[in-house]
Amino acid sequence: MKTDTTNDLVERIFKVARLMKDEMSYTHDVTHLSILQIQTLFFLKHDKDKNISMSDIAAYFRIELPSATSLVNKLCDQKLVERRADQNDRRLVLITLTADGKTMLEDAMCARRKKLEKILSYLSEKEKSDLSSIFKTLYNKLQVK
């Protein structure tokens, strides 16, 4: 049975998440890219040692292959990523981040960090510490699943 505290917390989480999503939107300043496009650049940057295929992108974001292809096509059109054939299997198309893609991602991440720092400035150091502890606990519990 859910307690009033749990119900209140669930409601507040949804409200804060919505406000933060609005505040953290990438499209308002640095880029004209969607959040999914930015996340794709982030995925490519952080898995740069791995050969990333269209299927990897679809699996990571839990989207269908045609949707991943459309996503990558838009990034290719803007010269933020490029396709190349796998040397061992020419049928396999690999996706890599371009220099422009890296720059766009760095600018977007810097802007996002500044926005998040502004949001966190509303909290005291004690509140930040408590929030950090709560997020660590949640992260660790969710990682186990």
Task: Reply yes or no on whether the pLDDT at 31 is more than 90.
Answer: no
pLDDT in tens, 70-119: 999 999 999 999 999 888 888 888 999 999 999 999 988 888 888 889 99
- What is the average pLDDT across 26-41? 75
Task: Reply yes or no on whether the pLDDT at 29 is more than 70.
Answer: no
Instruction: Residue 120: name the closest of 128, 112, 130, 132 by CA.
Output: 128
Task: Reply yes or no on whether the pLDDT at 43 is more than 80.
Answer: yes
The pLDDT confidence band at residue 28, using thresholds 50, 70 and 90, is very low
Going by their DSSP bridges, the two strands 81-85 and 52-53 should be labelled as unpaired
On average, the pLDDT of the chain sits at: 88
**Burial annotation 23-42 (CB, 10 A radius, 16+ → b, else e):** eeebeeebbebeeebbbbbe
Task: Reply yes or no on whether the pLDDT at 145 is more than 70.
Answer: no
- What is the average pLDDT across 45-68? 89
**Domain that residue 65 falls in:** 4-144
Residue 74, classified by CB atoms within 10 Å of its CB into exposed (0-12), middle (13-18) or buried (19+), is middle
Q: Report how far apart, in Å, the C-alpha atoms of 20 and of each of 15, 116, 118, 134 are.
A: 9, 9, 11, 18
Give the chain's domain count: 1
Q: What is the pLDDT of residue 33?
A: 83
CATH of the domain at 56: 1.10.10.10
